[in-house]
Chain A
Amino acid sequence: MIRFENVGFSYDGKRQILKDISFEIDDNASVGLIGANGAGKSTLIRSVLGFLDFSGKITVDGTEVTKKTLPEIRKKIGYVMQNSDNQMFMPRVVDDMAFGPKNYGMDKEETERRIDAILERLSISHLKEAYNHKLSGGEKKMASIATILTMEPSILIMDEPTSMLDPYNRRKIQDVIVSLPQTKLIASHDLDFICDTCEKSILLYDGEIRGYDLTERIMRDRDLLEGCHLELPYRYQ
């Protein structure tokens, strides 16, 4: 469970990027975090991961996010970055997938077993020995999700997973995300994608929560969306 209580944040000490944010995400829920560019989606995500010095209180499974609890928090949360190039840094996909488990001191056989199972599950076994810098955009995104899954997080947080993907790969990522059992928080301005992957959605505008409801209810509310510089998803237009 993720819980925000009156969270605020500012990069420069002047302009508030997150303004008094409070909400809760239940276990195994899938929640979309939608909002126009600059609404504060990435900033909100980074605060959960403890990368920012926010005010207020964030708890993950009852543990408050502080400097001291960071290792524990990060073990729980799998963070799929917007830019896969920043996420992947080992020569091959398999090395990258092993990096997390190796850091947690997991033994070789167990690591290997996990890697194979996850590659299988994402149907990318053929990419196991591939070099990261030779992957296409879609493959790279898949592989970066794979590197996160090997750490067996109970919560998945993704920042704009479909940016830079073509429709075919977007569809593949969508199927994978839907099939994952974890608690999910997915930031995106791709509203159709959120409709297909998340039961509920948080609508963020200028650092404030403007709505938190069933995805369908938010997505059908033209006035609400347009007031936040978003357009109705295609399916409801």
Chain B
Amino acid sequence: MEINRKLSDLRRLDELSAGTSYIHGIHTLFILLVTFIYIVTLMSFDKYDLTGILMMFLYPVFMFRLAELSFSESLRKIRYVLPFILFMGILNIFFDRDPYLVINGFRLSRGAVSFFTMTVKGFLAVEASYVLIATNSIYDICAALSMLRLPRILISLFLLTFRYITVMIEEVANMTEAYSLRAPGQKGLHISSWGSFLGQLLLRSYDKANELYLGMEARGYTGDLRNYDIGKPVLKDYVFLIVVSALIILCRLINVPVTIGNLIRR
């Protein structure tokens, strides 16, 4: 069933985050910082700089390698986000019709270029975030965020949303299962049941959410993870941060296709 699959998607992220690769061994705060630096660098590219951005592919490629993640699995996981990424850039095609490049009568508009650039940017940013999420538990990430002194209300919101979503999906799965048992041969939920189904869902998830919060509170959760110990950074964490950030910035500065072009022209 579709819902059960979504749930196992979330669970799979949990499983991934418990891995033992090199990246899994890096302190969460440092992966968070590197991800942040990468995304900011990515966003700093001009929206027509399609060739420049190519170098930025190196980061996910290496990170996937080091983290022992599967690229195709990541594509499957982020498939729900991809349409949004495409949608953000697509208007450019219609509004920005000036030519960017004309070769033998083939005309590439500026809008098309910026559409590609934005799509690639969005895609890379999502992949970079995927690496972060797939190699760190949500609790570690939240604890790292609070080390960065982010407002505790934000962190709390982030954490609980994540926690409740899993539960909501579980609740929907249970309810649809119960429903389909008593409505055999029927595909989906009949429209006449939507109202009561939704009402039930809200009530149930409200109770459940309360219960979950109690469960966390009973184990010392106090609204944020300020005291939550995610270990002290060690030398390899600093090395990781410095080396990877330097490489990211290097990739920002060197435009390989253009450099090669220049060399050839000389």
A interface residue numbers (CB < 8 A to B): 46, 49, 51, 71, 74-75, 77-79, 81, 83, 86-87, 89-92, 95, 99-108, 111, 129, 131, 133, 147-148, 151
Q: Considering only CB atoms and an 8 Å cut-off, how many residues of chain B contact the other chain? A: 26
Are A90 and B139 in contact, with the CB atoms below 8 A?
Answer: yes
Are B139 and A81 in contact, with the CB atoms below 8 A?
Answer: no
Query: Which of B216, B222, B229 touches A89 (beta carbons < 8 Å)?
Result: B216
Closest to A79 in B: B218
Question: Looking at the complex, which of B13-21, B125-133, B191-199, B236-244 is the stretch in contact with chain A?
Answer: B13-21
Are B220 and A103 in contact, with the CB atoms below 8 A?
Answer: yes
CB neighbours (8 Å) of A90 from chain B are 14, 137, 139
Are A105 and B229 in contact, with the CB atoms below 8 A?
Answer: yes
Q: What's the Cα separation between A103 and B17 when bound, in Å?
A: 20
Query: Which of A46, A77, A89 touches B212 (beta carbons < 8 Å)?
Result: A89
| Known A83-B211, A95-B18: A100·B219 in contact at CB below 8 Å | yes
Name the interface residues of B48-77: CB closer than 8 Å to any CB of A.
none
CB neighbours (8 Å) of B221 from chain A are 99, 103
A180 to chain B, nearest CB (A): 17
Are B222 and A71 in contact, with the CB atoms below 8 A?
Answer: yes
CB neighbours (8 Å) of A151 from chain B are 219-220
CB neighbours (8 Å) of B228 from chain A are 102-103, 105
Are B217 and A74 in contact, with the CB atoms below 8 A?
Answer: yes
- B251 contacts chain A at the CB level, 8 A cutoff: no
Query: Which of B11, B18, B218 touches A49 (beta carbons < 8 Å)?
Result: B218
A41 to chain B, nearest CB (A): 16
Query: Which of A51, A95, A100 touches B137 (beta carbons < 8 Å)?
Result: A95
CB neighbours (8 Å) of A81 from chain B are 211, 214-215, 218
